[in-house]
Structure 1
Amino acid sequence: MSDHSANLPPAAAAYLEGRRLDEVECIISDLPGIARGKAVPASKFERQAYFHLPDSIFYQTITGEWGEAAGEEGFIERDMILKPDMSTATAAPWTADWTLQVIHDAYDRKERPIPFAPRNVLKRVCKLYEDQGWQPVVAPEMEFFIVARNLDPAQDIKPMMGRSGRPAAARQAYSMTAVDEFGPVIDDIYDFAEAQGFEIDGITQEGGAGQLEINLRHGDPVKLADEVFYFKRLIREAALRHDCFATFMAKPIADEPGSAMHIHHSVMDIETGRNIFSGPAGGETDAFFNFIGGLQTHLPAAVAVMAPYVNSYRRYVRDHAAPINLEWGRDNRTTGIRIPLSGPGARRVENRLAGMDCNPYLGIAASLACGYLGMMQELRPSRQFRGDAYEGEGDIPRVLGSALDLWEGATELHEVLGPEFARVYTIVKRAEYEEFLAVISPWEREHLLLNV
């Protein structure tokens, strides 16, 4: 018999203080980042050391169809063993009873990590850093839209109605008045986050109508990916309480900017605790430039993971707050790779390519993998870019099909992320792309029906 309740993190213990736990949601992220799992009575959870789910949850496309990724034995839906990571136990404060969520890790019957489980992919990359004596540190930024309820996919997505009774205004970046429009939703986001033990570094209004950004404190990649995974659900629940939707689509509204998950990276020396991007005198090191070189060299192939849907590529629009190339620059938001202002101890590299629609475990893993390859291969970046990078040519894929072509040939990246993950991801994404290509769009009916 397990004794899970003795291992609760402080926030979960505080949430339950003086209360009786009713239910535990045993969850794991699938490839899109959707929480899959089972809800069990608390008494049963206390007695179970693990539970089972079929491995086929990782073969599903976003529409619920299946990719033929089961391997040689065929589609037999073999059970995985899912074990709780009690350090992830956190409240589900929107539920009617007292409920905890716990993220689980997936293993096969020989106790080996399932290689295509997203959290395991990220752990694999972190282990490669650890083997070199490095500790990767990340800080994700989450952009998203709060929009009016949309019950008909044929209708355009519209901004939500604000507190003033007017639709949320666009192009009001950093406006406190605009933030106030969403006051009740933001209050619930803060309350839920506090109950779950998450520290928000700040909430700002972004450039789009109803677009907000939440910054998280830097830390361990797996812990931060867990938080983004949890936050997506938390934010959706907060919006639903106020008769609106939260969406993490990369480009939900045609004339508005898209939503990114910018990822800041630094790397610490495990032995000394120093940032390896800065030398003893505070200067920039070879490792710093190699990391940038790795992003420039390997990101084109990794885009298929960071921009995983056909909609993702609508975000990469010139002059629309998203990068179109892989230039790097200091404090320059037009480049795909930005070096923010900081002191030597906080020197970091920001990847601005990842969309908010990516799976946080996979997006962070792919970004760290590119930097890791850069440091291991001692890759040098191009010259620092000065000026407006939107004036240059785009050098990232413009559609998912092209991105998948690059991804399929990226054997070095596959070795870092895991060849079996790469195989399954490729098959599922190809199946999803085929599903999309089978749909006739309103644009085609409008312009081709009578004109060609």
Structure 2
Amino acid sequence: MTSTPYPPAPLQKAPLSEAQAFLAAYPDVQAIDIVLSDLHGVGRGKIIRRHELESLFTSGRGMPASLFAQDVSGHDVEDAIACMNDGGGDSRCWPVPHTLGFQTATGRGMVLLHMETPNGAPTPTDPRNAMMTQIARAKAMGLTPMGALELEFYLVDQERDAEGKPQPARAPMTGRRLSGTNCMSVDELDEMAPFFDAVYEGAAALDLPMESLISEYAEGQFELTLRYRDLARAADDIVRSKRLLRTTARRFGMEACFMSKPFAQSSGSGMHLHLSMMDESGANIFADPSENTLAPRMLTAIGGIRASMADSMLILAPVLNSWRRFAGTIYSPATNSWGSEDRNVALRIPSGAPKTRHFEHRVAGVDANPYLVAALVLGAALDGMDAGTAPGAEGVAGEADYPPMPVGWLDAIDRFEASEAMKTILGAPLHQIFAAVKRGEYNALAVEVTELEWKLYGTTL
């Protein structure tokens, strides 16, 4: 595969009417959070005052593109900054359509942003723009990508335990500290009802389509599902949902934790992406063509994803902690595999009505950037459909037909950096800067002496 770039999708700017409607609906709101998602999915931006909102929609707002050259803690990464060549000046950010809403927890508004270059082109290092480029590629093929991402997370107490370690939150209704696995416990959800009632109230105010809620496979772990819809809005939903959960949890004495593996002996948290494609008539091209037969175009999409799975792992597991999730393989697939109704494979085809057929990409952790996950999964799927790539053998045994998966974070960085497939899907600037930032994070952690090292070696060797 060559690294010929795909034409960037024009930046879609929210109309002024959205701001005017918001101001009319919420006359008492005095401030609005304006949020740009960086490489890591961390919200960077400002809180503006009410009188500034209309000018944001008509004139945009300046922010430095160097925000995309920062590590997860907000520090500039020298090698990434060197890739930018923009002199450190501001670029223009614009509101994303359909993302302006009211935050019940904070009493402020919130709107997502995306960035354009000084010459008016989409900023190539903005992850949302990379996703929109792949969506535009699909639309040029007469297809509309549809999807939803599941959101797994932990709720932890703001207070640490007696040993200074994080601990599960207390249930707001009973004051009981969450304990035990309690997978799919309805009683535990009832104990948490005051918090989740506030979350659903906040979701309604944001026009955020949150649906089912379950208690997951560990104490304090939960999962929320969101309505299936066009892929761009599905990714925006995850960004807004994370902010909603964080702001609401703080007001209940809790913190929402989106680490992939916050507790060594407990299950990890994933962000599974469900994906299908509609043609111009609105029909699902992944629908079964006949009984007990899977659609050829879905199978070639799976083939394309498998072909670049090893190269893509840095996007799906972007930080050191991400790789701890794969240490235990129960429902955390670390293999390049596919199958029907099997939660141990990377790409699962769920059961259901044939006309709603889709596949579930199960590898990404909840710490991954949803825009980058959407960009690479869609891009790899389109590659497979273009080339007619066969999916390979069903089940884990087929993994031998593909390059070996990375064995850890550094290996994933090396594989990603050398990958022409990732450079093509994400664009050369984003590919280069993401690799530089992640290598910078790796180098910073490699020289850090941990408490465990002192415990094992400090007075022993």
TM-score, length-normalised on structure 1? 0.91
Give secondary structure in 1 for the equivalent of 2:255.
strand
Aligned to 2:407: 398
Aligned to 1:140: 149
Aligned to 1:110: 119
Kept in 1: contact 2:146–2:231 (CA 8 A): yes
Aligned to 2:324: 314
Shift of 1:320: 3.0
Shift of 1:313: 0.4
Shift of 1:382: 2.1
Aligned to 1:301: 311
- The one-character-per-residue Cα deviations of 1:358-384 (angstroms, maximum 9, x if unpaired) are 111112212212212221222112222
Shift of 1:446: 1.8
Whichever residue aligns with residue 189 of structure 1, its letter is V
Aligned to 2:249: 239
Aligned to 2:7: none
Indicate whether 1:76 and 2:84 are aligned. Answer: no
Using a 3 Å threshold, how does the CA distance of structure 1 residues 8 and 419 change in structure 2: closer, same or farther? Answer: same
What are structure 2's unaligned runs of at least 5 residues?
1-12
Using a 3 Å threshold, how does the CA distance of structure 1 residues 46 and 386 change in structure 2: closer, same or farther? Answer: closer
Indicate whether 1:159 and 2:168 are aligned. Answer: yes
Kept in 2: contact 1:60–1:66 (CA 8 A): yes
Shift of 1:280: 4.6
Whichever residue aligns with residue 402 of structure 1, its letter is D
Shift of 1:131: 1.5
Matching of residues 113-124 of structure 1 within 5 Å: 113-124=122-133
What are structure 1's unaligned runs of at least 5 residues?
none
Give secondary structure in 1 for the equivalent of 2:196.
helix
Indicate whether 1:440 and 2:429 are aligned. Answer: no
- How many angstroms apart in 2 are the aligned matches of 1:439 and 1:325? 30
Give secondary structure in 1 for the equivalent of 2:308.
helix
Give secondary structure in 1 for the equivalent of 2:151.
strand
- How many angstroms apart in 2 are the aligned matches of 1:395 and 1:170? 36
Whichever residue aligns with residue 7 of structure 1, its letter is E
Using a 3 Å threshold, how does the CA distance of structure 1 residues 430 and 73 change in structure 2: closer, same or farther? Answer: closer
Using a 3 Å threshold, how does the CA distance of structure 1 residues 4 and 329 change in structure 2: closer, same or farther? Answer: closer
Using a 3 Å threshold, how does the CA distance of structure 1 residues 326 and 428 change in structure 2: closer, same or farther? Answer: same
Using a 3 Å threshold, how does the CA distance of structure 1 residues 72 and 365 change in structure 2: closer, same or farther? Answer: closer
Give secondary structure in 2 for the equivalent of 1:133.
coil
Q: Which moved more, 1:177-186 or 1:335-344?
A: 177-186
Shift of 1:3: 11
Shift of 1:72: 6.2
Shift of 1:227: 1.1
Aligned to 1:128: 137
Aligned to 2:35: 27
Give secondary structure in 1 for the equivalent of 2:44.
strand
Whichever residue aligns with residue 448 of structure 1, its letter is Y
**Backbone CA RMSD of aligned residues:** 2.6
Aligned to 2:272: 262
Kept in 2: contact 1:248–1:356 (CA 8 A): yes
Whichever residue aligns with residue 408 of structure 2, its letter is V
Kept in 1: contact 2:83–2:432 (CA 8 A): no
Shift of 1:23: 2.2
- How many angstroms apart in 2 are the aligned matches of 1:384 and 1:3? 44
- How many angstroms apart in 1 are the aligned matches of 2:33 and 2:450? 38
Kept in 2: contact 1:170–1:208 (CA 8 A): yes
- The one-character-per-residue Cα deviations of 1:83-119 (angstroms, maximum 9, x if unpaired) are 22342211122224xx321222211111010011111
Using a 3 Å threshold, how does the CA distance of structure 1 residues 194 and 9 change in structure 2: closer, same or farther? Answer: farther
- How many angstroms apart in 1 are the aligned matches of 2:97 and 2:296? 39
Aligned to 2:102: 91
Kept in 2: contact 1:66–1:431 (CA 8 A): no
The count of corresponding residues between Structure 1 and Structure 2 is: 442
Using a 3 Å threshold, how does the CA distance of structure 1 residues 302 and 7 change in structure 2: closer, same or farther? Answer: same
- How many angstroms apart in 2 are the aligned matches of 1:171 and 1:337? 26
Kept in 2: contact 1:4–1:46 (CA 8 A): no
Whichever residue aligns with residue 41 of structure 1, its letter is R
Kept in 1: contact 2:316–2:373 (CA 8 A): yes
Whichever residue aligns with residue 30 of structure 1, its letter is D
Runs of 4+ in 1 over 6 A off after TM superposition: none
Whichever residue aligns with residue 276 of structure 1, its letter is I
Give secondary structure in 1 for the equivalent of 2:150.
strand
Aligned to 1:47: 55
Whichever residue aligns with residue 258 of structure 2, its letter is F
Whichever residue aligns with residue 218 of structure 2, its letter is G
Kept in 2: contact 1:116–1:424 (CA 8 A): yes
- The one-character-per-residue Cα deviations of 1:125-156 (angstroms, maximum 9, x if unpaired) are 1111111111111111000000112569x833
- How many angstroms apart in 2 are the aligned matches of 1:114 and 1:148? 39
Kept in 2: contact 1:250–1:356 (CA 8 A): yes
- How many angstroms apart in 2 are the aligned matches of 1:17 and 1:135? 32
Matching of residues 317-332 of structure 1 within 5 Å: 317-332=327-342
- How many angstroms apart in 2 are the aligned matches of 1:118 and 1:386? 31
Kept in 2: contact 1:290–1:375 (CA 8 A): yes
Q: Which moved more, 1:309-318 or 1:16-25?
A: 16-25
Give secondary structure in 1 for the equivalent of 2:155.
strand
